[in-house]
Chains A and B, each alone.
Chain A
């Protein structure tokens, strides 16, 4: 037995060392996310912005921002990175809480809406801006980061009786963390890429991406002035990927996603808020791929569905996935699917 255990220990040693190394470096703050987020929030509480944030759990940060936000906002923004730069004045309000997170699925919207409600931030909201990305309705969008908000999503799904939605398939967070600690790829990343330290700053424009205390993000200033050719190159690269972002396997519209958007917006509307659906356009090259590749025909159907829903319930709708219809040109983008901050106000004009 002793011989066996010694040999087993020797065999397991490299794996345990790899786990310890991942735990020690943890460049994406997988294990120490709470300490990391507490540090970020501390920096924000001084009235400053946080710069240099990279590889972190955006959902966990958004949840804490909602909890710790000091005032009662009159605008709530739920969306993806495409709406992350929206501010109160762009939306015609005084104080906005922007809970946009990258690649947001409908579960993120529902989860963060629940968080906002739980932390008492919905009382004065009179405008809801909901970024209706096409992948909200793609049941195969592959997005799993929302699982950070699993409890909140499950609660809302239960209250609204969203059918076909099951939470038991969601892997428990701690298990995912343990698994990641023993991921050789994560060890390689920890070995080859240094974690970038974040810092607080009073600047409102920076060469770094800035996160504000209300959740709004200000992209690097280089992106505001990015030239046509470089943008085109990035958009071309984006459009030529095997699968467009979160749109692979988009064979039908996700009825759960539709129900979630509908219930969430109707609930806010019933509470007296205006509902604004944002259809943020894609770069013309990406849009062309969507139109020529029949695997993406449901993108158009998504837009039509959102429009029908908005008309039926009297919601305002802004933009279109089609840049021409949205009145945007190549110069208005900084990559394949993000608009420059300066043109967002134009998009939001009634």
Chain B
């Protein structure tokens, strides 16, 4: 079920009614409602994969219990290894099997060995990377003794399958979210209002900005081989805002939805395009995944300890693995590696160059230096997005090559050749500008549409305008799914 669908518009009020009206008096009943509703939410896409979700969750539930009841470190380690093998095995099969077979066959062919290995017709279950990592965080935390294993299977299933963040995150930590299923909540007006505001902002970013960007991005990238010059840079910039609007929009809707029911999900985006260097960018982009890799991979590998060489190795490993997490394609691996390489210069810098928590911290506008830093970081990010968006490496390299080759060409003429008019571009920049303006204005706050401090008439006018814009664009950009569903 998509957040931006009519089905969800029916599902959501019903869930709200049952949740607050009937089920919130008893913990088990409430959590059971969450589990059943989450199963409906997920099964709406393909009910057959519910078994996979249940298998992953139940497997980790019982491993957690076994670990908790075991005093032997060796046995605990074996159980963790089993959990890792099962979770990564399932992920590996559904997501990476064909990639590995193809890559192995090509590698063998390059040394003259012709292998006849067949690939499989595998459907990638929606959100598998998200719920696998979330479930895995539980066994890892129980193993590290950061968390006591739960004995309540309903609580655990509710934690793994919680529908607001089930298919595209934020990837919650068991230490943060699981205890929230052991408490009943009273309805909190402020929290619910904040949640609605967040949902509206998420929908605006998704339906108005990301989906409008998508139309132009698709055309530019599909004609990338025939185009040259700055139109290709424009394509990368639009994609940067498409993926931001799409993914951060989803996260905002998820966080807002959870708030309506009393739950707090972790922040997933923190105005990443105002970052002044790549380190800051990665502290602000897909935070739940970055911190997951930091805590469960980077730190166990040694992090920044044990010398600069190992620090560099560890940075490159987590960026590459992070890229690979996104998909079974060399483009994602190169995207991760490229980001890692862009991150490396910061390791050698003693002064990290970001003395304040956010750009323009004590003023309305950023300083010239900050503006330059933001510009450079954004440009590097856009170049990296080309690999992320391209279908294969040949396409990505051709895209970048054509960009350099025709740098002086007229972007408007190029745009016209693929049926994009100047008005399309101006309109899109206007929509992007609205998001950038609001996010800049609220950069010291939790999210871009944090307008509680405004006078009532202004606030309500903004609610109405945003709602009408969402409804209007919902009718133009129909049925676009969220990009991160494929991961």
Contact = CB atoms under 8 A, between A and B. Distances in A.
B146 to A, nearest CB: 35
A178 B8 CA distance: 13
B388 interface: no
B193 interface: yes
B216 to A, nearest CB: 13
B187 interface: yes
A15 B419 contact: no
Given A11-B463, A179-B478, A249 B419 contact: yes
Contact of A295 (B20, B189, B419, B421): B419
Nearest to A169: B479
A7 B419 contact: no
Contact of A243 (B187, B189, B192, B419): B419
Contact of B471 (A3, A183, A249): A183
A183 B471 CA distance: 6
Contacts of B478: 171, 179
Interface string B456-487: 00001001100110011011001100000000
Contacts of A185: 472, 475
Nearest to B478: A171
A242 interface: yes
B45 to A, nearest CB: 11
A8 B193 CA distance: 9
A3 B189 contact: yes
A15 B472 CA distance: 12
Given A183-B471, A183-B475, A1 B419 contact: no
B20 A184 contact: no
A4 B478 CA distance: 30
Contacts of B479: 169, 171
B476 to A, nearest CB: 9
A182 interface: yes
Interface string A168-212: 010100010011101111100000000000000000000000000
Nearest to A295: B419
Given A4-B187, A242-B421, A243-B419, A178 B6 contact: yes
A14 interface: yes
A185 B421 CA distance: 22
CB-based closest 3 A-B pairs: A183-B475, A175-B6, A1-B187
Interface of A: 1, 3-4, 7-8, 11, 14-15, 169, 171, 175, 178-180, 182-186, 242-243, 248-249, 295
Given A14-B464, A183-B471, A184-B471, 8 more contacts: A4-B192, A11-B463, A175-B6, A179-B478, A182-B471, A183-B475, A185-B472, A185-B475
21 contacts: A1-B20, A1-B187, A3-B189, A4-B187, A4-B189, A4-B193, A7-B193, A8-B196, A11-B460, A171-B479, A175-B5, A175-B6, A175-B7, A178-B6, A179-B474, A179-B478, A183-B472, A184-B468, A184-B472, A242-B419, A295-B419
